[in-house]
Structure 1
């Protein structure tokens, strides 16, 4: 019997990614959607003739509490702005629902720890996973697997992401991104992906990020408080690398992860993964595997549904891992050129 699920949120990413992913998953049955306004909830629900819940106008039987009280809804997918998401996750946990919440795990480390503690206090019968889709990308998974296979201490690493958000970008036009109340602005919302990707690659090599020195800057008035970060990172075993990311560089583009060990190198780009090692004769050899980049939300939702069915979520959903991503990124935000130890 399919798992009854509700979607909390009706924004662009829900419309374009989560709704199709739920509809494509035969383990799930979409029962309801919730949004702040009746209009946005109805606009999403008309595509599937499902029940709608909303805050405004206040209507008996149509609140978030009414949705969470339904016995035929076992799980919720929460994809709303970062700051209010905290309260909705807690409400769903308190109602005993399995929860899949959008990254980041919370606005800051303190809130993330409170959520993790609260989930544990609920007894653990309801599962909670954080949807960091970079942990499910075939390219990320393959690159981490190859680093584990290659072995050797990490010698250096880098992440480079440069682009310019178009003037007519629909996501940047949303009010909560134009006037963020969450720390880091667009870097928290979008930058967390690349921290997660780097951490997974380094974990494949058996290392983790321990120290950070970083500078942030704002290159465009549309992306407060900043959208650019340049950081020097050091792992627990002493390897140093760089993390450079900007969402507002018109004349520079790029997307690349690279990790170099004593025994080889792995590069991950939007087109795939390149692995360089030595063959039996001691000569360098490189092979490439195509893994075109996509959002991967169907894989995220499908894997979550399987976890709920089986009573255990995949490690990629771990709130502790999502917290570790946030710890690295928050250290970058707070560094201002000073050494920060990652909590």
Structure 2
């Protein structure tokens, strides 16, 4: 099967700095970028030109925008040579656009979160399952943390029993988002019209990691949400306790309202999981290739009890795995494979909805336990 012709809807930071470079890494055998859409002609042109440079094509992808009905989104979706669309638009716009693209007969990869809230996500998934999935259309949610090689590797370690029976885990994710942050200075993030602000936009990543690495699903959450920095309204902090189906439990700190950068850099960010025979720690680090170029990576440190012939503890053994961050490349490759009929199970919208449920529960719990299983069965 020939590579699909694709379009990118959205000309923001993540489309420019992540999706297009990921397509370039995968090469022309994965997909051909034929079109770029944005509400403004200017931003669409900028992304198209950047795509031409990175993808090394003779001409840029076609530009579509809302300023001319001859080259608007409907015109893009009418093209028969475009079989799949990557949606990288503001959170509240995505559900309607996803349905519009599916109605046009195109496969969809939409950026996380799957929807602004659980109720909206359930409705969206129900319509896909009843109307579009039977037609053979693929819809996946682009949650790159779900497919990061390091996270999958950590999941294998924890599910293998290497550290014994898992008892508890601790999560600390502290971020400094100043008013000069490029992520803050996008209009839809500056004045969010969805619950949680950065907690929803970024916090679903942490929920996805826990969903992938822990052997047992999180079934209950009790926590509190608050606002530490006024410019990050409505909330920028969640502290929660969680319980898993197997009886293990955790403490989760999600904090996007650090007052100064050091609160983030010196906080000890990472995820630790403790079992009866050892523990595992995941943290983000900087790696270097053979040419000295720095790249983002995830490090997995496993420490296990060593024992003598009688089974008595003698010390501990350390093993370290470091994987380059490449979740977007993996999710794109996986999406294109699914279009070709090879479904690996990643990107499932209902699984992504569990991540939204995690954040929604943290925002609304106010100290009372929230049944996460029931929440996604409304």
* Corresponding residue of 1:125: 136
Contact 1:127 1:312 in 2 (8 A): no
Contact 1:129 1:313 in 2 (8 A): no
Question: Among 31, 37, 40, which residue is 2:34 paired with?
Answer: 31
Alignment of 1:161-310 (within 5 A): 161-202=173-214, 205=215, 207-249=216-258, 250=260, 251-253=262-264, 254-271=268-285, 272-279=299-306, 281=308, 282=311, 283=313, 284-292=316-324, 294=325, 296-309=327-340
C-alpha offsets along residues 60-99 of structure 1, whole Å, 9 cap, x if unaligned?
Answer: 3212121111110010000111000111101111112111
Count of aligned residue pairs for this structure pair: 336
> Displacement, 1:212?
0.9
C-alpha offsets along residues 158-194 of structure 1, whole Å, 9 cap, x if unaligned?
Answer: 1101131234211111111110001110100011100
Q: Which runs of 5+ in 2 are unaligned?
A: 53-59, 286-298
* Corresponding residue of 2:103: 94
> Displacement, 1:314?
2.5
> Displacement, 1:261?
2.4
> Displacement, 1:106?
0.5
Contact 1:30 1:50 in 2 (8 A): yes
SS of equivalent to 1:278? strand
SS of equivalent to 1:66? helix
Question: Distance in 2 between the 1:223 and 1:312 partners?
Answer: 41
Is 1:42 the counterpart of 2:56? The answer is: no
Contact 1:154 1:259 in 2 (8 A): yes
Q: 1:95 to 1:181 in 2, by over 3 A?
A: same
* Corresponding residue of 1:8: 9
TM-score (ref. length: structure 2) = 0.85
Q: 1:67 to 1:96 in 2, by over 3 A?
A: same
Q: 1:36 to 1:295 in 2, by over 3 A?
A: farther
Question: Among 46, 51, 57, which residue is 2:62 paired with?
Answer: 51
Is 1:327 the counterpart of 2:328? The answer is: no
> Displacement, 1:286?
1.9
More deviation, 313-322/185-194: 313-322
Contact 1:304 1:314 in 2 (8 A): no
Question: Distance in 1 between the 2:147 and 2:173 partners?
Answer: 19
Contact 1:279 1:285 in 2 (8 A): yes
SS of equivalent to 1:130? strand
Contact 1:96 1:125 in 2 (8 A): no
Question: Among 108, 118, 121, which residue is 1:112 paired with?
Answer: 121
Question: Distance in 1 between the 2:342 and 2:355 partners?
Answer: 22
* Corresponding residue of 2:159: 148
> Displacement, 1:290?
1.8
Question: Distance in 2 between the 1:295 and 1:111 partners?
Answer: 30
Is 1:338 the counterpart of 2:368? The answer is: yes
More deviation, 296-305/165-174: 296-305
RMSD of aligned C-alpha atoms?
A: 1.6
C-alpha offsets along residues 229-285 of structure 1, whole Å, 9 cap, x if unaligned?
Answer: 100111112222110011222242332111222343211111300112234634432
Q: Which runs of 5+ in 1 are unaligned?
A: none
